[in-house]
Structure 1
């Protein structure tokens, strides 16, 4: 069994098509299931380019599914697990409209792919648009992909070191404003935390159909924090950049780099909290060191619901 995770450096539509379509066609010729998870504009481009074979391919709009990069690995894992034998996936989690707040979660995702699918008979091709993405983003791609495909062909990345990217992403400080509303969480106090989250969501203008999702995500974070982070945590809520943000801080240290991204067996009593939070939130960021952990979730104030 082999796992492949190359980065495709493309500069225009022609090089995008040239780098992705043969990958798909070869997979279909080998009777391998293929999924394409890319932003909506490129999804349309590939659907048109593969019109003869489109009915054989699973298309996933990364603009929606990958809005929170923490949802991508579970989604790709679910596709791969539905099939036996070799599987091919095109996954494009980084595009030019990603914000400075979102991007570290994208880089972390790409690094974690190497851990999540190690040993699987799976090829995941990740396109990067060199004409619009920053130099540091492309440099990170070389750290998270062992092979780079560009105009010169296939080459090994001399900078491949996903562990460094994971450490860097988890070490980035997550700040809270001094005027953020706050409450403390302890065992037996989750009803109060839930009420606090709902109150803040209504007060700060979150769409009504997302208030329950926000309250559930905050309660799950606080529950995990109390259980694994020393028995008490601090919950803060504020608004920033058209999002409502909640951050939970505690004294624990998350050592499982894939926490919240791997499936939990039905007979296991726990382990679903962070999976659920990733499913509900528009973005999840984590800072975790030996000094403590902060997990930050963001929900868009615009009226749209995670799917």
Structure 2
């Protein structure tokens, strides 16, 4: 693994995939990245799942100049990472080049979560085009599937591994976004459904409250879920033909709420960026991403399904 230098041209956004095989390879790729950033006076954020975060933090040593975040918490919902982790840090240091390590995909991610993870990595390129930032995304070659690594080649314009640093010959982020925008698998669990329109929006909150209480959600999480579902149901009424269908079911880990309507999320970054400072528009889906443990979306010109997951007490 090389400690390759990373582009810092003004206005040049850099997004790199770091492919490591073991602990030594991870440290060889991340520690120089951090120390180079500190030497250049750049603000540095390291967001990795707990074990890797501790490993890198111990190798860097005591410093108040690096912000550390456990990605298994901050990025538990992949749709939360761009607005509430990456964009928040970059915006906080406007006028300076930010340097970030973000590891959103690790061996413990579930098959249900992974499509949102892959889309996240693809959308980073669109979200931060022209921004003063360098983002390095580590991938554990020894533990991740070949399909995951192939997606990483497609979502990162620059690859870093034992052979050095080079452009990706397979870079095609839009293809990844499209590939994972597919119909969501039908639940195998019993489903409760509610059709709503403008005169019955109040029933949505009661419907969610009943199901949330039944699985033991505490008051705060139940309120979060009610806000998320109501945001989407209100959008259906206002922008998607005036009606929609809410379906709810319970899995072993989550209470799942799904909104279906006739709307179309034409912008792939919908819900993936924090709203503009003027507060006009764009808040609904980003609020949903912030409040839920996972959000899956399938959208076409003929309709949209948004599936929201909230963990319940086992």
TM-score (norm 1): 0.95
- What SS class does the counterpart of residue 266 from structure 2 fall into? coil
After superposition, the Cα gap between the structure-2 partners of 1:178 and 1:300, relative to the gap in structure 1 and judged at 3 Å, is: closer
- Whether 1:22 and 2:32 are equivalent positions in the alignment is yes
SS in 1 for 2:180: helix
Deviation at 1:260, TM superposition (A): 1.0
1:302 correspondence with 2:293: no
Question: Who is 1:157 aligned against?
Answer: 168
Matched position secondary structure for 1:55? coil
Count of residue pairs brought into register by the alignment:
302
Pick closer, same or farther for the CA change 1:275–1:163 going to 2, 3 Å. Answer: same
Correspondences of 1:19-58 after superposition (within 5 Å):
19-52=29-62, 54-58=63-67
Equivalent position SS for 1:170: coil
Give the superposition deviation at 1:272: 1.0
Bigger CA drift: 145-154 or 14-23? 145-154
Give CA-to-partner distance per residue, 1:237-256, whole Å, 9 cap, x none: 00113110011111111011
Match of 2:4 in 1: none
Match of 1:265 in 2: 276
Select which of 93, 96, 101 maps to 2:107: 96
Per-residue deviation at 1:215? 1.3
1:171 paired with 2:188, answer no
- Cα distance in 2 for partners of 1:139, 1:225 equals 36
| CA apart distance, 1:157 | 1.1
User: What do the CA deviations read for 1:226-268 (whole angstroms, capped 9, x no partner)?
Assistant: 2222211100000113110011111111011111121223433
> Mapping of 1:74-223 within 5 angstroms?
74=83, 75-83=85-93, 84-177=95-188, 179-223=190-234
- Rounded to whole Å, the distance in 2 between the matches of 1:247 and 1:131 is 36
Contact 1:171–1:289 at 8 Å: present in 2 too? no
Contact 2:43–2:97 under 8 Å retained in 1: yes
Over 3 Å counting, the alpha-carbon distance change for 1:265 and 1:188 in structure 2 is: farther
Query: 1:98 and 1:128 mapped to 2: Cα distance?
Result: 13
Q: 1:224 aligns with which of 228, 232, 235?
A: 235
Distance 1:238 1:113 in 2: 32
8 A contact 2:154–2:168 mirrored in 1: yes
Contact 2:215–2:313 (Cα < 8 Å) also in 1: no
Matching residue of 1:245: 256
Structure 1 CA distance for aligned equivalents of residues 34 and 252 of structure 2: 38
**Offset of residue 180 of structure 1:** 0.6
After TM superposition, the structure 1 stretch with the greater mean CA deviation from structure 2, 177-186 or 142-151, is: 177-186
Whole-angstrom CA distance in 2 between matches of 1:119 and 1:82: 16
Q: What is residue 70 of structure 2 aligned with on the other side?
A: 61
Q: Name the Cα RMSD after superposition.
A: 1.4
- For structure 1, list consecutive stretches of 5 or more residues without a partner in the other structure: none
